Copies of this chain bind each other. A is one copy, B any other.
Amino acid sequence: MPPVRLADVLAWIDAHVASLDPEIVPIFEAAGRILAEDLVADMDLPPFGRAAEDGFALRSAETIGASAYNPLPFRLAPAAGDLPANSAVCVTSGDTLPVGTDAVVRMDHAELTTEEMVTIIDPVVAGHGVEQAGCHCRRGCNLVVAGRRLSPADVAVLASAGFARLSVTRRPRVHCVFVAERVIECGRQLPSACVYDANGPMLQALLHRDDGLQVAQSHVARHQDAIAEALMTPGADAVLVAGGTGSGTTDCAAAAMAAVGEVAMHGVAIRPGQTTGIGRAGRLPAVLLPGKPADCLWGYELIAGPVIRRLGGRVSQLPFPSRTMTTARKIVSEIGTLEIHAVRCLDESTVEPMASFSEAGLMPAVRGDGFVLVPEPSEGYPHGATVSVYFHG
């Protein structure tokens, strides 16, 4: 069957893959997680009027007329109790505004004339140097909305509103099935005709980046029954199969997935990554990834990544910053296929294409600064064209 367009695969993911249920985590572990519910302040922030500065709290009305020619003396008083006329209370930023005062004069705008007296030379208005209750956020207002990835500042605001535990989307548990022969884990002796495994460490790293948890790893031979059995390992939210997706006589990953679930699409018009497929193993979303590492990488980035990020409550888009830049050389692409081209920055605004992934394996992803996607209808970009460059640094 002809390869499907990436957009159709992404539409299938949108229709068939939903956010996992939430879990409760302590606020100290919540940064970077996806908030699962809207949170509203159930107290004013700050909860009471307080000094915004280190200085002297006093009645603003009593400072009227103060100037360098008319310094006004205030007697220092304790914070508690009735405040006599022309008195001031020494306060530290964050202290409750003492009863009877309505302004704070900064330490360096006043002069401590004796241990008991302070002199003011500028009048202040009511509220000067004061944070009123609720001035950051009123009780009942939205603090952070569901679906947001919690930043350090988000966590701080929620903590200051008293939230000790938060409901966040559960991290997807992922089972990786590696279908390979003559692929050896690095660290061992390499027998002849064998290569070291790249996909194992790579998928582990990609899942970690996308906040997936690799809960199981199976290494199986290129036999349909063995793959099918591995696909049904319990305890995961999604399954990734790497290898055995091609047209060779022993490529039986798709058949194995069909036997225990459904192959919705197999063969996608992307390069690298054409033999990527998607469907279900039992009821779980499952992605077939090519065994060749560059193809496995892009099958993950364009198809498995969106599944994992969507399960985790994130946006499914590519997790890379992008910038509009200009091509310093022509980029040639096949019409009908979405091609990924690694690029290198020549300066702030110009990129040049590098060797293709089919010529140089993963090296362009290592040596390049980013990549350009050339969509299916395009035969590439001429020299001097404007392109969106994604940075994977």
Task: Give me the interface of A with B, judged by CB distance under 8 Å.
Answer: 27-28, 30-32, 45-48, 52, 54, 90-96, 107-108, 131, 135-137, 143-144, 149-157, 159-165, 182, 185-187, 190, 192-193, 195-206, 208-209, 246-251, 291-293, 297, 321, 323, 358-363, 365-366, 391-393
- Chain B residue contacts of A250, Cβ below 8 A: 92
* Alpha-carbon separation in the docked complex, A176 to B185 (Å): 40
Q: Are A205 and B152 in contact (CB under 8 A)?
A: yes
Whether the Cβ atoms of B392 and A151 lie closer than 8 Å is yes
Contact A202 B155, beta carbon cutoff 8 Å: yes
In the assembled complex, the Cα of A356 lies from the Cα of B366 at a distance in Å of: 42
Distance to closest chain B CB from A161 (angstroms): 7
Q: Contact at A187–B205, with CB atoms within 8 Å?
A: no
Chain B residues with CB below 8 A from A163, complex form = 186
Contacting residues, chain B, for A365 (C-beta < 8 A): 151, 153
B92 touches A159 (CB 8 A): no
A161 CB contacts on chain B under 8 angstroms: 186, 196
> How many angstroms between the C-alpha atoms of A209 and B204 in the bound complex?
19
- The distance from the CB of A173 to the nearest CB of chain B, in whole angstroms, is 17
The answer to whether A359 touches B135 (Cβ under 8 A) is yes
Best-buried of A201, A204, A246 by chain B (most CB within 10 Å): A201
* Nearest chain B CB to A203 CB, angstrom units: 8
A208 touches B31 (CB 8 A): yes
Contact of A156 among B190, B249, B291, B297 (CB under 8 A): B297
Does B247 lie within 8 Å of A156, measured CB to CB?
no
If A162-B196, A249-B90, A363-B137 touch, whether A186 touches B153 (CB-CB below 8 Å) is no
Out of B153, B201, B246, B392, name the residue touching A28 (CB < 8 Å).
B201
Contacts of A323 in B (CB 8 A): 323
Knowing A52-B358, A153-B202, A187-B165 are in contact, say whether A195-B246 is a contact too (CB < 8 A). Answer: no
